[in-house]
Amino acid sequence: MNFDWNYAREVAPDLLTTGLKVTLQATAGGAVLAFVLGLVLALLLRVDSRWVRLPTRTFIEVIRSTPLVAQLFLLYYALPTFSRDVLGTQITLSALTAGIIGLGVHYACYTAEVYRAGIDGVPPGQWEASIALNLPRVRTWTDVILPQAIRRVLPPLGNYLIAIFKESPQLTLITVVDVVGLAQNMGSTNFKVVEPLTIAGLFFLIIAIPSSILVRRLERRLAQ
């Protein structure tokens, strides 16, 4: 099979400006949700009440123990029917919104453990100093603990950002037309699959490899 370079050059602009744009939107939205919700879950796991900790831990384990694809299908296909039958109001999400929520919630359950490790890594003396200074609990968290913890977890969060980017093609299963979905559509329309999928794969390499290098450099710098 000969690779049609002319066709590859023809489809590359659409894959870049249309398909890759959707991929980056899904990645950015999913990452923001994952990082914010992950921090919330990590803090809930430290609440004294077991009535808060137990449901939070159960939620995390359920999400981590089920595949992302199943969660996407539930959000996009099952949620409208479930909400109509149970709540009396049909909740319908667009494909991209469902994809962002699915990616965000799924990876929040992983970033929660990253935040937990970062918080546990803060030296006990920092807690003791805050108590000795009679700092309010909120200020202890916002001014002392979280700044140190977040500095420790930046490299792992960077790795999860790359993971979300690489997982985003799964959104094509719920009709999101990202760069891979657009490449598949082009292939089925023009009966040339290799060229658009190759271009889509190159876009992932061009973004993922430099991002991985930057994360490793950040990790080495913070470790100094």
Give the pLDDT confidence of 122-175 residue by residue, as tens digits: 888 887 888 787 788 888 888 888 888 888 899 999 999 999 999 999 999 999
Tell me the C-alpha distance between 30 and 102, whole Å.
Answer: 8
Q: Are 149 and 115 in contact (CB under 8 A)?
A: yes
Tell me the C-alpha distance between 99 and 172, whole Å.
Answer: 9
Tell me the C-alpha distance between 221 and 224, whole Å.
Answer: 6
Sign of CA dihedral 175, 176, 181, 187: positive
Return the pLDDT at 127.
79
Return the pLDDT at 63.
96
- Total number of domains constituting the chain: 1
- E strand or H helix that includes residue 162: helix 146-167
Tell me the C-alpha distance between 177 and 117, whole Å.
Answer: 36
Q: pTM (2 decimals)? A: 0.91
Return the pLDDT at 205.
94
The tally of CA atoms less than 13 A away on the side-chain side of residue 180 is: 17
Q: For the segment 34-46, what is each residue's pLDDT rounded down to a tens digit?
A: 999 999 999 999 8
Q: Which domain holds residue 33?
A: 5-223
Tell me the C-alpha distance between 58 and 50, whole Å.
Answer: 12
Tell me the C-alpha distance between 111 and 87, whole Å.
Answer: 31
Return the pLDDT at 94.
94
Tell me the C-alpha distance between 136 and 138, whole Å.
Answer: 5
Q: For the segment 169-214, what is each residue's pLDDT rounded down to a tens digit?
A: 999 999 999 999 999 999 888 888 899 999 999 999 999 999 999 9
- The CATH number of the domain where 170 resides is what? 1.10.3720.10
CB burial of 126-155 (b: ≥16 within 10 Å; e: otherwise) equals eeeebeeeeeeeeebbeebbbeebeebbeb
